[in-house]
Amino acid sequence: MTDFSQFYQDGGIFMHAVTLTLIGALVSIGLHITRRARSDRHLIFAAGLSRAGLLFGGLGAVMGLVELFAALGAIEDLSMWPGALSRATPIALYPLSWALLCAAPVVAAVCVLRFRHAGLHEDISPSQRLSTRDHVTGNLRASAP
């Protein structure tokens, strides 16, 4: 691997999907921070996007392995297999490694912000707090007093 652009190009189309989920998660985290949100809906969305990015990375790795074995099947000279396999296997796993690199900081940020949010939530008086049912079902309107 010579540089990042080569790494990104070798990973294929799934690298774009992983990057888009990373961007969406970072925007959602940014919205949560800048709006000083009382609910954690932005954090839930960011966590969901990071999971989607990991799924895209896994799918990209599977597709890379399928392409790898198809390419190896086309090699007629069996003495070239070990070299081709050792070079192509890491390339097939690039989308998964990129997904893990992208998801790790997002998950860490979501965990930190959720703990901070929980601390702020304890400081809010009970009349301002959402009911458990409203929080679980995603209804962000305050419950009736």
- For the stretch 48-77, pLDDT in tens is 999 999 999 999 999 989 988 888 888 888
The answer, as to whether pTM is greater than 0.75, is no
Cα–Cα distance measured from residue 47 to residue 20, given in angstroms and rounded to the nearest whole number: 14
Ranges under pLDDT 50 in the chain: 136-137, 139-140, 142-145
For the chain, the residue count is: 145
> Residue 24: what pLDDT?
94
User: Among candidates 55, 53, 43, 56, which has minimal Cα distance to 108?
Assistant: 43
| Dist. CA 17–CA 12, nearest whole Å | 10
With contact defined as beta carbons under 8 Å apart, do 102 and 19 qualify? yes
